[in-house]
Amino acid sequence: MERQAMANKGDWLDAQLRANRPAPIADDGFAARVMAALPAATRALPAWRRPALVVLWALAAIGLALSLPDATLDVARQGYRLFTAIPVSVPQLAVAMVAAAVVMWTIAGYTLRRELVPAR
């Protein structure tokens, strides 16, 4: 009789799978065993560490620049000359941007390939 009732329920298997969920398992000392096996905590670096490092590096750079003003100016001038010496036309810039976009989309497509490939 119960079988018949189940068969009449449409997707009886769905209902059975849900009804067949495992019963809750008593702890029976499991949590204590886990806690005893835990190693010392490995913590994430504190949130203030990154900005503090940035500030420290910036202060060091400013300090260096102030203590060696001639060298700093020289490096800056040379850098500017190097940058302005490279002639870049608008078409070249456009080609570079298109190439960068192609590379970006290729990487994105490769990353998402598992989602894009249909299931067999």
Helix segments in the chain, DSSP class H: 2-7, 12-19, 30-37, 49-67, 69-85, 90-111, 113-116
Among 7, 82, 85, 86, binds other proteins (CB under 8 A): 7
Q: Which stretch binds other proteins (CB under 8 A): 37-45, 69-77, 90-98, 100-108?
A: 37-45
Between residues 38 and 66, which has the closer beta carbon with respect to other proteins? 38
For residues 71 and 64, what is the distance between their CA atoms, to the nearest angstrom? 10
Q: How far is the CB of 115 from other proteins (least distance, A)?
A: 6
Q: How far is the CB of 38 from other proteins (least distance, A)?
A: 5
